[in-house]
Structure 1
Amino acid sequence: MGIFLKNKNYRKLSFASWLSSAGDILFYLALMTYASKLHNYTLAISLISITEAIPRLIESLSGYYADRTKNKFKMIVWLAIIRFILYLIVGLLFVTNIAGWNLILIVIGINFISDISGMYSGGLTTPLIVNLVGQNEVAEATGFTNGISQIISTVAQFVGSVLLLYLSYSNLAIVNALTFLFAGLLYASVGHNYLKTHPQEDVAVNQQGFFTTLKSSFSQIKKANGLLTVISVIALLNGILMTLEPLISIVVAGNKSMLIGTYTFTIALIGAVDSIGFALGSAIGTIIFKKASLFVISLIDTIISAGTTLAIINKNIIATLIFITLLSFFAGVASPKMMQWLVSSVDRTILSSSVGALNTILQIAGPLMTAIFTSIASAIGINYALFALIIVSVTVFAIILYVMNKTKKAQANMQPAE
């Protein structure tokens, strides 16, 4: 939080990011609500979900093009203006005679273009954050920003559901457009201030091909002892966290003793403590555990993941909620620390590509593990799926412990003898 309060440019950059995220969530709710009222709404909602997921799966590609962009601030401002125009068009479309499937397909297409632009903009922002706050403060800075972003996202969902009672779909699209306009103005202000203090700075850009860049990224990550393993471990931990929610939903549905009020409220409460835990971990945990290694944080998280699963098996909803909060908290601590390690391990010219590849791995792990463990629950029983998760947690713990000891020995051998 100290970086956020002291660094005016980073503060403006953060506000711009929060504005864009809040606007996106408001419009996403509006779009899903409109789709839910269509004939064959299942297909419409599925199309929206698919087009929302695709940009995340190609983040390494958008990161690659971000690394090849020389004037990053200028491009970010233009992308914000483009997204402002796109959602103004959407707002106008909602008040035309176009309706039903014709309208939803056009809006989904525009929204997809906007999401791709947003992913590209995020890639452009990554190296700029490092320049603004310094390499050693990346974990604290991004942790605080991500934590507040998580809180804003949660609040925006509730606000959006209320606004839908009073505002039209067109109005919400225009509200989203305005968030991008204000974000663009903030980006322009930061860019102007930054270029005033760095007028002659020669910006190096990536000149390699896409696959050569990915190869170079993984090669540099592998040279950092233990980083690649930790990335894989955190992907698994994120996968466990994502998998637990549908498994808990299954257990709660069959055990009324786990209900807090109604089934819907219980599931909403689980989602809420998950979001709160992650937000607190990102915003505050990164400061509290600033000196703790990523290995230690990962070990703690694997122990908690096993504890969460045991609480579910024992059908103790209070213990489950506490463990999920802790699991999310340490996941929130781990992500910025991993970013810090990545920033210090790869060349700045391929940083966005590396972050994109990393996020793609993290994005794939969750749905893949969810599909595997929910399939086990459906085929042979929920308890088998839960015990399998415990085995995964124990295995991951053993791997981290082994790699941590191996890394310590390697670092000790590298130190010159006195």
Structure 2
Amino acid sequence: MNVYLKNKGYRFLTNASLLNAIGNSLYNIVFIVYASTLPFNTLAVSLASITIFIPSFFQPFIGHFADKTKNKTKWIIGARIGQFLLFLLLAKVILIEPSLPLFLLLLIINVLGDCLGTFSGSLQLPFFKQLISEEDLTEAMGFQSGLNTLIQLIFQGLGAFAIVKLNYNFSLFGLINAITFLLAALIIVIHYNFISSLEQQMISQTEQKKTTFISDFKETMTIFLNNPFLKMIIFFAVLINLLFSSAEGLLNISLLDRQILWFGNLPNTIALVSISTSVGLLLGSLLTMDFFKHIKSLTIISLILINACLLPFSLIVIQSKWLMALLLFSFGYLLGKINPRLSAYLISEVPTEKLGLTSGIFNVLAMAGAPLGQLIFLGTANLINDLLSWLIFGALSFLFFIYAVLGNNKVSDPITIN
């Protein structure tokens, strides 16, 4: 919070990013609702759910393009105006009689909008490095991560509520969404001179070379492979994603026939499962001065894996809904400690001209475990039963925990805060 209040450049960029996040949060949930109203709703909801993740796989390419982009300030404005125009088009097109080709066009518009959002976010990374001192980076990234989580909590719920109040007027909602992107661009326009002068300082301090995506990709992978700490963190990010990417879906399956775990009814329980993790993530990101400030990153990862070990125990053995909620909250809180540290470490350690590509590659590598986890756990739950899925989940979590404890003693943590 101190960095946000005292550093006006960081404040301008964060405000613009938050408006961008509001736009994304509002329409992601509403688009699922729209898909559910179509005659081919099963296919539509499945496609809408899958396409939310498509832009993530383009992050390295988008990040590399952002790194090579000159006049970044103008392009940040341009990307957000592009999002504004895309959602104006969506607001018009969505009025046409529903059909599969029309729905595919809407999906493309949505994906392009998300890609432009990723592009503008990658363009901002060098500005954060220029604006924020190294000792304040973790606090700044934590504050931004916490606000993004808060926005998702508030505006996804608000989006679902508002679309009902607007009598499912998806066109009007698309127009509201477009305005949030226009306001995000307007913030940068208002402070254009300040941000542009900052960009000129960055240009004078960095050497721009003409390089290809392949050569930069190889160089970035070399940075990862030559850094034992980063290599270990990526490895555990894959493992944690392997476990927790399917945990919510697996929980939903288990809750169907275990009323003892319900908080009143099934819808309330499913909502509480999601909220518990989100609130934990919010508080973990914002409370930067707590006990965990002095704890090594790999120790926090070990604690996350202990959570994973205990989750099947809470569901299958003692069947405690309160322990289940506490473990989900704890997982979110601990994750809220790790993510800002890693963002700050990457920004401080990676050359300015490779920040977008490096961030993109890191995110894609970290996500690599998610498809495998969903195949193992959700596949087993559907083909056999959820009990076997949870047993596999618990066994793998325990093995990963043992490996984390052993790795904790072998790798020094360069981002432990003293």
User: Does 2:361 align with 1:357?
Assistant: yes
Moved more, 169-178 or 100-109: 100-109
Moved more, 29-38 or 110-119: 29-38
Structure 2 counterpart of 1:335, from 327, 334, 339: 339
Distance in 2 of aligned mates of 1:356 and 1:67 = 11
Q: Which amino acid aligns with 1:369?
A: G
CA contact (8 A) 2:81 2:185 kept: yes
Moved more, 195-204 or 226-235: 195-204
User: Does 2:7 align with 1:7?
Assistant: yes
Query: Which residue matches 1:414?
Result: none
Query: Which residue matches 1:309?
Result: 312
User: Does 2:224 align with 1:225?
Assistant: no
CA contact (8 A) 2:285 2:336 kept: yes
Distance in 2 of aligned mates of 1:321 and 1:56 = 29
Query: Which residue matches 2:165?
Result: 166
| Structure 1 pair 175–371 and aligned structure 2 pair: CA distance change class (3 A) | same
Q: What's the CA shift for 1:371?
A: 1.9
Secondary structure of 2:38's match?
coil
Structure 2 segments unaligned to the other structure (5+ residues): none
TM-score by length of 1: 0.91
Secondary structure of 1:208's match?
coil
Structure 1 segments unaligned to the other structure (5+ residues): 411-418
Distance in 2 of aligned mates of 1:409 and 1:7 = 28
Query: Which residue matches 1:130?
Result: 129
CA contact (8 A) 1:220 1:345 kept: no
Secondary structure of 1:117's match?
helix
Query: Which residue matches 2:150?
Result: 151
Distance in 2 of aligned mates of 1:188 and 1:43 = 41
CA contact (8 A) 1:63 1:356 kept: yes
Distance in 2 of aligned mates of 1:356 and 1:139 = 19
Distance in 2 of aligned mates of 1:285 and 1:329 = 11
Matches within 5 A, 1:54-73: 54-73=54-73
**1:252-272 Cα deviation digits (max 9, x unpaired):** 222221111111211111011
Percentage of pairs with the same residue: 27
Structure 2 counterpart of 1:388, from 383, 392, 400: 392
Matches within 5 A, 1:267-416: 267-285=270-288, 289-314=292-317, 315-408=319-412
- Structure 1 stretches of 4+ moved >6 Å: none
Q: What's the CA shift for 1:408?
A: 4.2
CA contact (8 A) 2:22 2:152 kept: yes
Q: Which amino acid aligns with 2:68?
A: R
Q: Which amino acid aligns with 1:152?
A: I
Query: Which residue matches 1:51?
Result: 51
Q: What's the CA shift for 1:111?
A: 1.7
Moved more, 98-107 or 179-188: 98-107
Query: Which residue matches 1:79?
Result: 79
Matches within 5 A, 1:114-263: 114-167=113-166, 168-196=169-197, 199=200, 201-202=203-204, 203-205=206-208, 207-263=210-266
Query: Which residue matches 2:108?
Result: 109
| Structure 1 pair 408–363 and aligned structure 2 pair: CA distance change class (3 A) | closer
| Structure 1 pair 285–323 and aligned structure 2 pair: CA distance change class (3 A) | farther
| Structure 1 pair 357–197 and aligned structure 2 pair: CA distance change class (3 A) | closer
Number of aligned pairs? 409
Distance in 1 of aligned mates of 2:199 and 2:35 = 48
| Structure 1 pair 368–127 and aligned structure 2 pair: CA distance change class (3 A) | farther
Query: Which residue matches 1:413?
Result: none
CA contact (8 A) 1:85 1:177 kept: yes
